[in-house]
């Protein structure tokens, strides 16, 4: 029998697991270790999802980036810390200086005063001498701070950037969990398909035994026995191929979870029969438009762009207040010959200033200036992002609508196929009994078995479609996984 739609979906899932995500690796067994030596590990759906999230390298990288954004948000207030500069200088003059002044040169008679007494005046004479080059020690301490309204918006921008990182991480995590759950169900359903094929093989063995007994009793020709043997042998390659595909899926799934490819584990069975849900399309569409991770991420990006636009506006059209304070003490003298810092040798100087400066840049008022053009570019970016949001919302509406239609179709098919399976089972049992009594041919039995298998596989495929549709709907509406499927 040709591979069913279920198997084709399984092969597509295998290719997806190989390329969709970057996965992490836990410690692998030693080279040459046999999988048989490892103990079989039972793994549940929730455990598989948790392992995938834990070991996914892409998510680990996002966590590192998110931690950097959080640190930046928590320290965004540091824009109000003034810049502090401290400098020290040690130097020596290249040439000496000339010291000049006046010195006493004796007393002079000024004549008699009114009282008839002689007056004496101390005389001075100019003085000049060469001074050796002096050493200079100078320090400088300055503080400066620039204040603008844009600084407050910058703090808000770092907060929005961190929130954007959180949403991006949540989106990637939800996508990963969605795909892991779908792969988990895919493996289980492929295992059920193998089980159906093995049941068909067991039935073919019984039919071969019956044909052999009838042939030996002379109730059937040898052709009937040969046909029964061929029908049984034809099932072996199909079963072998399905089991090989099952092993490949398990190996890819193990690596997808960050486990060695040869890990021996078994998936815990899940109930694939779910209660059909009454779905309000309008309510689901509205919920998806507000809660789908992709939509939330776009809305946050728009808020981030709007904040960047406001920050740029404040930088251009609001004044900047600059506060500064500095001091620069200096000592000069003969550092090595008279290092005692005596006042007659060392000369000190200490100057400084505290200032307020208010600056306003006028280029922003020029319509052709770069500042104005940059602001317009940001406006265009916000408009483009809003258009992208509208397109995304339309896409979500169609996505949810298609999912709901697919679920409704799968529900109708499941109900119809369940009745078909019941009828096929009754027909096959009756045909097999009639064949054993010699009232039906082997071809009738094979046809009955094929019809039953087709009905069973079709029912499994529709259950697969319905459950995966619910998982897609959980992601689209932003509800926790397991809310609709019942396997949280």
Averaged pLDDT for residues 14-38: 39
Residues 306 and 370 in one domain: yes
Within-domain flag for 375: yes
Residues 313 and 333 in one domain: no
The CA R_g of the chain, rounded to the nearest whole Å, is 45
- Per-residue pLDDT at 164: 94
Per-residue pLDDT for 1 more than 60? no
Within-domain flag for 199: yes
Within-domain flag for 347: yes
Residues 193 and 339 in one domain: no
Give the model confidence (pLDDT) of 415-459 as tens digits.
898 898 888 888 888 888 887 777 777 667 777 877 888 888 888
Averaged pLDDT for residues 90-115: 64
- Per-residue pLDDT at 109: 53
Number of Cβ within 10 Å of residue 31's Cβ equals 5
- Per-residue pLDDT at 228: 81
Averaged pLDDT for residues 460-485: 89
Averaged pLDDT for residues 281-300: 92
Per-residue pLDDT for 111 more than 80? no
Averaged pLDDT for residues 122-136: 68
Residues 77 and 173 in one domain: yes
Residues 241 and 343 in one domain: no
- Of the two residues 162 and 105, the one the predictor is more confident about is 162
- Of the two residues 258 and 340, the one the predictor is more confident about is 258
Averaged pLDDT for residues 461-482: 90
Check: CB of residue 406 under 8 Å from CB of residue 400.
no
CA distance 204 to 212: 12
Per-residue pLDDT for 162 more than 50? yes
CA distance 81 to 145: 7
- Of the two residues 442 and 358, the one the predictor is more confident about is 358
Per-residue pLDDT for 163 more than 70? yes
- Per-residue pLDDT at 401: 92
- Per-residue pLDDT at 126: 67
- Please state whether 116 falls in left (phi above 0), alpha (psi between -120 and 50) or beta: left
Q: Which of 359, 387, 408 is the last residue of a domain?
A: 359
- Per-residue pLDDT at 339: 53
Residues 350 and 420 in one domain: no
Give the model confidence (pLDDT) of 46-69 as tens digits.
999 999 999 988 888 899 999 999
CA distance 139 to 330: 6
Least confident residue range of 255-269, 393-407, 455-469: 255-269
Averaged pLDDT for residues 96-108: 61
- Per-residue pLDDT at 445: 75
Highest mean pLDDT among 39-48, 110-119, 464-473, 479-488: 464-473
Instruction: State the number of CA atoms in the 13 A half-sphere of 13 facing the CB.
Output: 30
Least confident residue range of 80-89, 124-133, 182-191: 124-133
- What is the rounded average pLDDT for all residues in the chain? 80
Residues 246 and 284 in one domain: yes
- Per-residue pLDDT at 168: 93
Q: pLDDT-derived band of residue 476, with 50, 70 and 90 as boundaries?
A: very high
Q: Which of 307, 333, 359 is the last residue of a domain?
A: 359
- Per-residue pLDDT at 380: 94
Residues sharing a CB contact under 8 Å with residue 213, sequence separation 6 or more, in sequence order = none
Residues 465 and 328 in one domain: no
Within-domain flag for 163: yes
- Per-residue pLDDT at 131: 66
Least confident residue range of 216-225, 241-250, 407-416: 216-225
Q: pLDDT-derived band of residue 166, with 50, 70 and 90 as boundaries?
A: very high
Residues 438 and 417 in one domain: yes
Domain that holds residue 343: 321-359
Per-residue pLDDT for 334 more than 70? no
Least confident residue range of 12-26, 240-254, 291-305: 12-26
- Of the two residues 450 and 413, the one the predictor is more confident about is 413
Q: Which of 318, 313, 292 is nearest to 382 (CA)?
A: 313
Q: pLDDT-derived band of residue 152, with 50, 70 and 90 as boundaries?
A: very high
Residues 375 and 430 in one domain: yes
Residues 353 and 473 in one domain: no
Highest mean pLDDT among 10-14, 109-113, 316-320: 316-320
Per-residue pLDDT for 16 more than 90? no
- Per-residue pLDDT at 384: 94
Residues 302 and 276 in one domain: yes
Q: pLDDT-derived band of residue 322, with 50, 70 and 90 as boundaries?
A: very high
Q: Report percent pLDDT > 90 for the chain.
A: 31
Q: pLDDT-derived band of residue 2, with 50, 70 and 90 as boundaries?
A: very low
Check: CB of residue 397 under 8 Å from CB of residue 281.
no
Domain total of the chain: 2
Within-domain flag for 215: yes
**Helix ranges restricted to H, 150-278:** 150-216, 222-256
- Per-residue pLDDT at 437: 75
Helix (H, G, I), strand (E, B) or coil at 137: strand
CATH code of the domain covering residue 165: 1.20.1600.10
- Per-residue pLDDT at 13: 44
Instruction: State the number of CA atoms in the 13 A half-sphere of 317 facing the CB.
Output: 10
């Amino acid at each position: 029998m040709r591979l069913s739609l279920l198997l084709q979906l399984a092969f597509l899932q295998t290719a997806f697991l190989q390329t969709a995500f970057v996965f992490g690796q836990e410690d692998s067994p030693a080279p040459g270790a046999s999988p048989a030596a490892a103990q079989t590990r039972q793994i549940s759906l929730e455990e598989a999802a948790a392992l995938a999230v834990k070991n996914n390298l892409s998510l680990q990288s996002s966590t590192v980036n998110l931690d950097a954004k959080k640190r930046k948000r928590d320290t965004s207030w540091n824009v109000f810390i003034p810049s502090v500069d401290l400098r020290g200088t040690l130097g020596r003059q290249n040439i000496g200086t000339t010291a000049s002044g006046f010195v006493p040169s004796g007393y002079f008679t000024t004549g008699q005063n009114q009282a008839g007494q002689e007056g004496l005046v101390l005389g001075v004479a100019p003085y000049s001498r060469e001074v050796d080059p002096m050493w200079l020690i100078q320090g400088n301490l300055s503080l400066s701070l620039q204040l603008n309204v844009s600084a407050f918006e910058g703090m808000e921008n770092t907060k929005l950037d961190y929130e954007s990182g959180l949403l991006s991480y949540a989106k990637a995590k939800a996508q990963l969990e969605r795909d892991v759950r779908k792969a988990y169900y895919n493996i289980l359903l492929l295992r059920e398909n193998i089980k159906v094929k093995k049941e068909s093989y067991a039935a073919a063995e019984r039919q071969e035994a019956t044909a052999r007994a009838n042939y030996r009793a002379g109730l059937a020709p040898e052709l009937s026995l040969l046909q029964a043997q061929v029908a049984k042998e034809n099932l072996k390659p199909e079963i072998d191929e399905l089991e090989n595909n099952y092993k490949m899926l398990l190996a890819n799934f193990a690596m997808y979870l960050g486990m060695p490819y040869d890990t021996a584990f078994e998936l815990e069975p899940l109930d694939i029969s779910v209660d059909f849900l009454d779905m309000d399309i309008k309510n689901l569409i509205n919920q998806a438009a507000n809660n789908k991770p992709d939509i939330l991420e776009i809305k946050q990006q728009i808020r981030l762009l709007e904040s960047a636009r406001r920050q740029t506006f404040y930088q251009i059209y609001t004044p900047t207040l600059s506060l500064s304070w500095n001091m620069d003490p200096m000592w000069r003298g003969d550092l090595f010959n008279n290092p005692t810092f005596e006042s007659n040798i060392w000369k000190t100087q200490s100057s400084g200033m505290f200032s307020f400066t208010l600056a306003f840049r006028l280029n922003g008022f020029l319509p052709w200036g770069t500042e104005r053009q940059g602001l317009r570019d940001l406006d265009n970016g916000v408009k483009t992002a809003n258009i992208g949001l509208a397109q995304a919302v339309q896409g979500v509406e169609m996505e949810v609508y298609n999912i709901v239609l697919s679920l409704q179709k799968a529900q109708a098919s499941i109900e119809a196929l369940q009745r078909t399976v019941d009828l096929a089972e009754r027909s096959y049992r009756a045909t097999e009994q009639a064949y054993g009594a010699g009232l039906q041919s082997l071809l009738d039995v094979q046809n009955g078995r094929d019809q039953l298998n087709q009905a069973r596989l079709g029912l499994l495929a529709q259950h697969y479609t319905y459950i995966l549709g619910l998982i897609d709907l959980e992601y689209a509406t932003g509800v926790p996984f397991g809310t609709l499927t019942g396997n949280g």
